[in-house]
């Protein structure tokens, strides 16, 4: 019986964190301030120092982080928000939940991130539909920042707010700076499987704009004014738990080492696999935190063969994402780039994500590569 490999090894991480983790949890149990306790503000400060953004506002999860940004900018019915089709559902869901219109944009086939030419076509189409273009939410899929320099030009030309959904890329950077500072707002998630994850749900928004940060702080606390029971606007209940903040403070300490280790693992995968499958491409000036290591196969049939081979070798794989958003039942009625979203459709049928975390060793990665090779009958 071959030993099962972990897709994401949170147990190895717990061992590395050692007693610091249990001590941090014990401190919260002692002071008992479970909601908005001192660790929340402390974590916001540490995260601000880590990514270089002036303001960090934590919240309950990465989906709420997007909803809070949409609320802060008063986006609603009649407004068009441009999102890639090849992403996790939350990016479009937040927009639709605000009763605004998500408009689907295609992605670049090599970086998996939103394509600027498709975005231009989608903006024209939205205007023709009588919608008001308000915002673009780029997604840094699988850990690599989108091309924010190009997106900024397009956003400025059309008066759009630029948002980075950095749930998968927090800790990465481009030559423009670190993720957290590349857009008007950056949202992230601390879901356990994300590169910087907690042991439950959590999220955050970063911004350089002080007034926007003040608005976000009010919105996450029922639209509160200066007093807790004064409500100056309609908000949400969306706070990061003190316990999760305490856990994140410990995890943030080892995060730079983990990012280095993920990059070592990604480099090793490339050496093992780039002659047999399409391995992920970094654009010139970007780094990745490798939320996923995603290969592209030649066909859906070939992907099935590789999946089967991996499964029998005890190698877990996952398909992120099997259905592009513009064909999802709940979303297919929303507008999209009129020239179609061919890259999103092709990628959905051919991508496969391999085990990736900061605790992979060469022996395990060789087993993964051997299983992929066997699936290709090489
Ligand atoms: C995980 C994820 C989210 C949502 O985060 P939650 O904390 O699960 O709500 C949003 N966008 C992307 C790209 C994600 O990967």
Per-residue pLDDT of the chain (378 residues; tens, 9 = 90+): 467 898 988 889 999 999 999 999 999 999 999 999 999 999 999 999 999 999 999 999 999 999 999 999 999 999 999 999 999 999 999 999 999 999 999 999 999 999 999 999 999 999 999 999 999 999 999 999 999 999 999 999 999 999 999 999 999 999 999 999 999 999 999 999 999 999 999 999 999 999 999 999 999 999 999 887 899 999 999 999 999 999 999 999 999 999 999 999 999 999 999 999 999 999 878 999 999 999 999 999 999 999 999 999 999 999 999 999 999 999 999 999 999 999 999 999 999 999 999 999 999 999 999 999 999 988
CB distance 61 to ligand 1 below 6 Å: yes
pLDDT digits (tens, 9 = 90+) for 156-201: 999 999 999 999 999 999 999 999 999 999 999 999 999 999 999 9
Average pLDDT, the chain: 97
**What pLDDT does 161 receive?**
98
- Estimate to the nearest angstrom the gap between the alpha carbon of 307 and the chain centroid: 24
* Ligand 1 atom having least distance to the Cα of 190: 7
Ligand 1 center from residue 61 Cα (angstroms) = 8
Best mutation site among 58, 85, 90 for ligand 1 pocket (most ligand atoms within 8 Å of CB): 90
Count of CB atoms within 10 A of residue 203's CB? 28
Span from the CA of 359 to the centroid of ligand 1 (angstroms): 23
Distance between CA atoms of residues 47 and 53, nearest Å: 8
Is residue 173 classed as helix, strand or coil in its secondary structure? strand
Is 230 in a helix, a strand, or coil? coil
For the purposes of burial, counting CB atoms within 10 Å of the CB of 3, is it exposed (0-12), middle (13-18) or buried (19 or more)?
exposed
Q: What torsion, rounded to 10 degrees, do the Cα atoms 190, 282, 185, 24 define?
A: 30
Ligand 1 midpoint to CA 62 (Å): 5
Cβ of residue 88 lying under 6 Å from some atom of ligand 1: yes
Is there an atom of ligand 1 within 6 Å of 139 CB?
yes
Q: Quote the CA–CA distance of 164 and 375 in Å, as a whole number.
A: 36
- Say if CB 340 and CB 244 are below 8 A apart: no
Rounded to whole angstroms, how far apart are CA atoms 326 and 65? 22
The structure tokens 């802060």 sit at 72
What is the Rg, in whole angstroms, of the alpha carbon atoms belonging to the chain?
Answer: 21
Please state, in angstroms and as integers, the Cα–Cα distance from residue 264 to each residue in 177, 232, 361, following that order.
22, 49, 10
Ligand 1 site, residue 280, Cβ cutoff 6 A: no
* Gap from CA of 340 to ligand 1 centroid (Å): 25
Cα 211 to middle of ligand 1, angstroms: 25
Strands 173-174 and 177-178: antiparallel
Q: Is 86 in the pocket of ligand 1 (CB under 6 A)?
A: no
Q: 191 in ligand 1 pocket by Cβ < 6 Å?
A: yes
Predicted TM-score (pTM) of the model is: 0.97
DSSP-assigned letters across all residues of 93-122: HHHHHTT-EEEEE-B-TTT-SBPHHHHHHH
- Cα-Cα end-to-end distance for the chain: 23
CA distances, 162 to each of 20, 28, 220, 239, 252 (Å)? 38, 37, 21, 24, 26
For residue 167 and ligand 1, the question of a CB distance below 6 A is answered with yes
Round to whole Å and give the CA distance between 159 and 166: 22
DSSP-H helix ranges across the chain:
10-17, 19-31, 38-51, 62-72, 90-97, 116-128, 148-158, 210-219, 242-273, 300-312, 342-350, 362-375
């Amino acid at each position: 019986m071959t030993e099962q490999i972990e897709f994401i090894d949170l147990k190895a991480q717990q061992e590395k964190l050692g007693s610091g983790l249990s001590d941090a949890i014990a401190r919260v149990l002692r002071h008992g301030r479970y909601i908005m306790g001192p660790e929340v503000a402390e974590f916001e400060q540490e995260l601000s120092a880590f990514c270089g953004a002036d303001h960090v506002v934590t919240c309950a999860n990465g989906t709420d982080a997007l909803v809070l940004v949409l609320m802060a900018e008063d986006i609603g019915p009649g407004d068009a928000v441009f999102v890639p089709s090849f992403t996790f559902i939350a990016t479009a869901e937040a927009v639709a939940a605000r009763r605004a219109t998500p408009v689907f944009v295609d992605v670049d086939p090599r970086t998996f991130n939103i394509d600027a030419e498709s975005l231009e076509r989608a903006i024209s189409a939205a205007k023709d539909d009588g919608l008001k273009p308000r915002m673009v939410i780029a997604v840094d899929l699988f850990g690599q920042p989108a091309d924010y320099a190009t997106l900024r030009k397009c956003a400025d030309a059309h008066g759009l707010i630029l948002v980075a959904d950095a749930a998968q890329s927090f800790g990465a950077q481009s030559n423009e700076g670190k993720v957290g500072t590349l857009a008007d707002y950056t949202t992230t998630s601390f879901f356990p499987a994300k590169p910087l994850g907690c042991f439950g749900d959590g999220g955050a928004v970063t911004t350089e704009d002080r007034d926007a940060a003040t608005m976000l702080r009010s919105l996450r606390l029922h639209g509160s004014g200066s007093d807790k029971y004064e409500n100056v606007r309609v908000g949400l209940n969306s706070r990061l738990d003190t316990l999760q903040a305490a856990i994140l403070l410990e995890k943030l300490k080892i995060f730079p080492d983990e990012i280095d280790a993920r990059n070592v693992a990604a480099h090793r995968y490339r050496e093992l696999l780039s002659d047999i499958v399409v391995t992920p491409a970094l654009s010139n000036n970007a780094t990745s935190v490798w939320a996923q290591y995603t290969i592209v196969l030649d066909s859906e049939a070939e992907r099935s063969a590789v999946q089967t081979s991996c499964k029998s070798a005890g190698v877990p794989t996952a398909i992120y994402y099997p259905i592009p958003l513009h064909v999802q039942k709940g979303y297919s009625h929303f507008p999209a780039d009129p020239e179609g979203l061919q890259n999103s459709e092709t990628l959905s049928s051919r991508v496969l994500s391999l085990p990736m975390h900061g605790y992979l060793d060469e022996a395990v990665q060789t087993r993964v590569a051997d299983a992929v090779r066997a699936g290709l009958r090489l």
